[in-house]
A and B are shown apart, each in its own frame.
Chain A
Amino acid sequence: MALQAIAFYLMAAVTLIAGLSVILAKHPVHSVLFLITAFFSAAGLFVLMGAEFLAMLLIVVYVGAVAVLFLFVVMMLDVDFSALRRGFAQYLPIGLVVAGVLAAEMVMVAVSVATTGAASANAVPAASGPDVSNVVTIGSVLYTDYVYVFQGAGLVLLVAMIGAIVLTLRHKPGVKRQNIGAQVGRTPKTGMRIVQIQSGAGVEEEATR
């Protein structure tokens, strides 16, 4: 359909230009913003392929959470650009190797799709019916065939989270913390005392909490 073709070329072009701008942008914050644009239009391409669930997950997880953290870090770091530029030639060979491997893989996939057709190239379990949404399809595969892998991935994330907390949590002594339960549980009995003051005598100091 003509509209889908227009949408595809529009979003593919935006993805490519944004991806190129990520490495060409002078300012790292601009790079991250271009990266977000690339994520966003990639999600649009997912929708065109009929994978709307994956597209929404891509936006919620990568754009809504991961890229926000990227942006936080990049905004708050004081990056010295000239120092970064100096290391460019040093890392050029290994970068070229990685790029070459990626390009070779992409060419191989493209060749296999061109020779054997797209249907055999992506051997995904087909949806059980035309009107079954792909949320249902993914769920029925994820929680049956791949349940151990799925739970294992969840455990890895849990371990990473606990590790991050253990590394950063410091209990400083001498910091006054608010104890909401104790505040709410205060009664007139514990909160105040009635003192009969003799004339000429002061009030004796109670030990402060």
Chain B
Amino acid sequence: MQNFWTSPGGWTLLAVGQILLVVVVLLVSIAFLLLADRKIWAGVQMRKGPNVVGPFGLLQSFADLIKFVLKELVIPAGADKVVFLLAPVITVTLALVGWAVIPFAPGWVIANLNVGILYLLAMSSLGVYGIIMGGWASNSKYPFLGSLRSAAQMVSYEVSIGFIIVTVILLAGTMNLSEIVTSQDGWFWNWYAFGGGDTWPLIVIMFPIMGMFFISALAETNRPPFDLPEAESELVAGYQVEYSSTPYLLFMLGEYVSIVLMCALITVLFCGGWNIGIPIPGLDTLPPTLVSFIGFLVFSVKVVFWFFMIAMAKAIVPRYRYDQLMRLGWKVFLPMSLGAVVLVAAWRVFMTAGA
């Protein structure tokens, strides 16, 4: 049996099984996170939110799914059919492949890449193609303008996200996401949000940097208050005007998958991933599977916390204007994150001996 799983066929089966498991768990949790998003939004505005389908409206997302799939698919007459249908598929695929390197728990990761964090950066920078292609292929002015706005926004905030990631790489000394998480074990002050243990004075830099990453993640995923591509009270729906039925569903799904991916990324980079934050005596004596499961629960709680923050930002923050968005990205976040890289690098070189 040992031989079968290491043979090419068995390896392929195992990999496919792991990928399916992650995707299914992820999609089911996103169905409920989507509902949570709407419920939180409703709660802030003193509404009830979806509460008809299933107990407390728990099945609302599945009802929406069935509704979207059963609707008629309309393709505009002048549209580039192949690119038009390819765009949402690309969006959702790129959002899903990013999860391959996320370490859920000790040893629970599909691909333990040495350059895992660069891989995530690469996949999120590719996400812009789904939007540009969708806007262009619709062969209409409004989706095209919407896609240009959206693409410019995503490209701008990628720069500051890249620099913020560099500060964490400098502190951890590795690009492997699992190793970044293991370097934050023990007490919660070892988390990079709180400066990371020995380098604790860097909390002055790292804690605001975490906030900047959170805001950049909102802009990168086109979430409110930066949802200018959609801006449903001012514009038509940006790049997805011409989309209906399943392709539209795929765009929305891709958006939510990348939002949760960003939550997972904040958790891994700044909040210690699967680490509880308080060393519990006797945890090591438990069977490894149980330890991993506890780690997975801790990780999920942190991800849900960050998703709650994103949902609250949607509910309480007014929308930015486009020039303010660009100003924030290029004139505020870029110099600040660049300065943070310089300071953290200087600290690593001059203050940590033998690092």
Residues of chain B within 8 A of A133, CB atoms compared: 114-115, 175
Please encode chain B, from 315 to 349, with 1 for each CB lying within 8 Å of some chain A CB and 0 for all others. Answer: 00000000110010000000000000000000000
| B158 on the A face (CB < 8 A) | yes
| A65–B125 CB distance below 8 A | yes
In the complex the two chains form, what is the Cα distance from A199 to B138 in whole Å?
63
| A3–B8 CB distance below 8 A | yes
Please encode chain B, from 127 to 163, with 1 for each CB lying within 8 Å of some chain A CB and 0 for all others. Answer: 0110011001000000010001001000100100000
In the complex the two chains form, what is the Cα distance from A66 to B83 in whole Å?
20
| A64–B11 CB distance below 8 A | no
Interface size band for B? 20 to 34
| A68–B115 CB distance below 8 A | no
In the complex, which of the residues B122, B128, B151 contacts A59, with contact meaning CB atoms closer than 8 Å? B122
Interface of chain B residues 57 through 86 with chain A (CB within 8 A): 80, 83
Residues of chain A within 8 A of B204, CB atoms compared: none
Residues of chain A within 8 A of B129, CB atoms compared: 36, 68, 71
| A180–B327 CB distance below 8 A | yes
Residues of chain B within 8 A of A29, CB atoms compared: 83, 136
Interface of chain A residues 26 through 55 with chain B (CB within 8 A): 27, 29-30, 33, 36, 52-53
Most buried by B among A64, A135, A178: A64
In the complex, which of the residues B114, B126, B144, B323 contacts A52, with contact meaning CB atoms closer than 8 Å? B114
Main secondary structure of the interface of A (DSSP, over half): helix
| B12–A3 CB distance below 8 A | yes
| B175–A68 CB distance below 8 A | no
With A2-B8, A56-B118 as known contacts, state yes or no: A72 contacts B148, CB within 8 Å: yes
In the complex the two chains form, what is the Cα distance from A33 to B323 in whole Å?
30
| A22 on the B face (CB < 8 A) | no
| A75 on the B face (CB < 8 A) | yes
Q: How far is the CB of B7 from chain A (nearest CB, A)?
A: 9
Q: How far is the CB of A1 from chain B (nearest CB, A)?
A: 7
With A65-B155, A135-B114 as known contacts, state yes or no: A3 contacts B125, CB within 8 Å: no
| A104 on the B face (CB < 8 A) | no
Please encode chain A, from 165 to 188, with 1 for each CB lying within 8 Å of some chain B CB and 0 for all others. Answer: 000000000000010100000000
Q: How far is the CB of B82 from chain A (nearest CB, A)?
A: 9
| B8–A56 CB distance below 8 A | no
| B113 on the A face (CB < 8 A) | yes
Interface of chain A residues 52 through 82 with chain B (CB within 8 A): 52-53, 56-57, 59-60, 63-65, 68, 71-72, 75
| B114–A68 CB distance below 8 A | no
Residues of chain A within 8 A of B151, CB atoms compared: 68, 72
Residue of A nearest to B124 (CB): A64
Residues of chain B within 8 A of A56, CB atoms compared: 115, 118-119, 121-122
| B133–A53 CB distance below 8 A | no
Q: How far is the CB of A167 from chain B (nearest CB, A)?
A: 18
In the complex the two chains form, what is the Cα distance from A59 to B129 in whole Å?
13
Residues of chain B within 8 A of A178, CB atoms compared: 323-324
Residues of chain A within 8 A of B118, CB atoms compared: 53, 56-57, 60
Residues of chain B within 8 A of A64, CB atoms compared: 122, 125-126, 128, 158
Residue of B nearest to A178 (CB): B323
Interface of chain B residues 161 through 214 with chain A (CB within 8 A): 175
Residue of B nearest to A75 (CB): B136
In the complex the two chains form, what is the Cα distance from A60 to B120 in whole Å?
10
| B126–A63 CB distance below 8 A | yes
Residue of A nearest to B155 (CB): A68
In the complex the two chains form, what is the Cα distance from A181 to B343 in whole Å?
26
With A63-B126, A64-B126 as known contacts, state yes or no: A33 contacts B155, CB within 8 Å: no
Q: How far is the CB of B157 from chain A (nearest CB, A)?
A: 13
Interface of chain A residues 1 through 22 with chain B (CB within 8 A): 1-3
Residues of chain A within 8 A of B128, CB atoms compared: 64, 68
Residues of chain B within 8 A of A134, CB atoms compared: 114
In the complex the two chains form, what is the Cα distance from A29 to B129 in whole Å?
12
| B122–A68 CB distance below 8 A | no
A interface vs B, CB < 8 Å? 1-3, 27, 29-30, 33, 36, 52-53, 56-57, 59-60, 63-65, 68, 71-72, 75, 133-135, 178, 180
Given contact pairs A59-B122, A71-B129, a sample of 9 additional A-B residue pairs in the complex whose CB atoms are under 8 Å apart: A3-B8, A52-B113, A52-B114, A53-B114, A56-B118, A56-B121, A68-B155, A75-B144, A133-B175
